[in-house]
Amino acid sequence: MTRREFITLIAGAAAAWPLAARAQQADQTRRIGVLTLFSKDDPEGQRRVTALQQRLQELGWGDGRNVRMELRWAGGDPDRARFYAGELVGMKPDVIFINHALVLPLLRQETHTIPIVFVQIADPVADGLVANLAQPGGNMTGFTTGEYAMGGKKLEVLKEMARDLAHVTVVLDPRQSTHVGVPHAIEVAAPSLHVNVTVAGARDGVDLERAIAAAAREPNGGVIVLASAVTNAHRHEVLELAARHRLPAIYDYRYFVAEGGLASYGHDPAEQYRQAAVYVDRILRGAKPADLPVQNPTNYELVINLKTAKALGLTIPESFLLRANEVIE
């Protein structure tokens, strides 16, 4: 081999190596499908997805480096969520992450092989998504919203803030089957608190306005708003209606209170996204969803908006404020 031929050979190999390396890297890139009920421009949705991405990065998965995340934002639209669910299944990703209860049954029908990690699902056993919490079986696992009894706790908290409360309207999405157990727990707790309960279904903004207006017609009325795609998408209207009708209201999550709601009692969803990232990591490294137990929240936070309480004419006892995890002034 002449010197010129040797140099030509080395140059050709050097030019081809980056292409081969990139092809090999592309083959090794894992894919994560992510479906969330939020709109892309929703700060709370961004906060949660960022928590997922950051934890994955801490675990060694960099988006665009060794993993590609296919993000789909349903924007509170069940039909759009169903479409995106089908689209993600068609991509055959290594794992699907989802926080949308309405489309989980659809995903179960569409695939029995793609691993699925869910968050904020009230009762995956009753919904037939997993065999039991300790040993899910199948291709799904994840994190729940907690025990139904938390509904009774929300009523207790609302009663402590609004001591004249005599009637509470529970606003929920009737299509979300997992909401059934929560109002039942509220109804069980109501007699000892001398409160009557009405359940109001809301499928859209018009239903929400109607439900809250009806709650306002009840003497000493209040509202418990259960988180759903509908209440999340229309939360600004819900908060405005509650303020206009001077209704004490309690919500599942802090961001409702940060945006003007009276109080919330529940877990931090972003923390569940971080926990779910650990499950995604374990699945990408070979674990099976069937072997990863479904987990309940372990920490709950009480958040109170003192400015909203004053606007409603409520005097919150100091002892109650001291129990809160956060008081927004």
Our measurement of the distance from residue 293's CA atom to the centroid of its chain's CA atoms, rounded to an integer in Å, reads: 18
Please state the length of the chain: 329
| Mean per-residue pLDDT, 83-88 | 95
% of the chain surpassing 70 pLDDT: 91
Give per-residue pLDDT as tens, 271-321: 999 999 999 999 999 999 999 999 999 899 999 999 999 999 999 999 999
How many Å apart are CA 297 and CA 192, to the nearest integer? 27
The reported pLDDT for the residue numbered 92 is: 96
Under the banding of pLDDT at 50, 70 and 90, the label for residue 127 is confident
Asked if the model's pLDDT at residue 13 lies above 80, the reply is no
Backbone angles phi, psi at 244, to 5 degrees: -65, -40
pLDDT for 268 beyond 90: yes
pLDDT of 179: 67
What residues does 328 pair with on adjacent strands?
305
> Is a pLDDT exceeding 50 seen at residue 14?
no
Domains and CATH numbers, the chain: 29-146+269-291 (3.40.50.2300), 150-266+300-328 (3.40.50.2300)
| pLDDT confidence bin for 3, thresholds 50/70/90 | very low
- For the stretch 130-145, pLDDT in tens is 999 999 999 999 999 8
Q: What are phi and psi of 116, to 5 degrees?
A: -130, 130
Q: Are 45 and 270 in contact (CB under 8 A)?
A: no
What residues form DSSP beta bridges with 98? 35, 118
One DSSP character per residue, 124-172 reads: TTTTTS-S-SSS--TTEEEEE---TTHHHHHHHHHHHHSTT--EEEEEE
Provide the token pair at 30.
């894992």
d(CA 135, CA 291): 6
Rounded distance between C-alpha atoms, residue 159 and residue 302, angstroms: 14
Per-residue confidence band for 17, with pLDDT thresholds at 50, 70 and 90: very low
If 0-12 CB within 10 Å is exposed, 13-18 middle and 19+ buried, where does residue 286 land? exposed
3-class DSSP state of 328? strand
| pLDDT, position 178 | 60
Is pTM beyond 0.95? Reply is no
Residues 34 and 49 sit within 8 Å (Cβ to Cβ): yes
> What is the band of 25 on the pLDDT scale with cuts at 50, 70, 90?
very low
Instruction: Give per-residue pLDDT as tens, 229-244.
Output: 889 889 999 999 999 9
User: Would you state the structure tokens that stand for residue 130, as one six-digit string?
Assistant: 């997993």
CA–CA gap between residue 285 and residue 243 (Å, rounded): 49
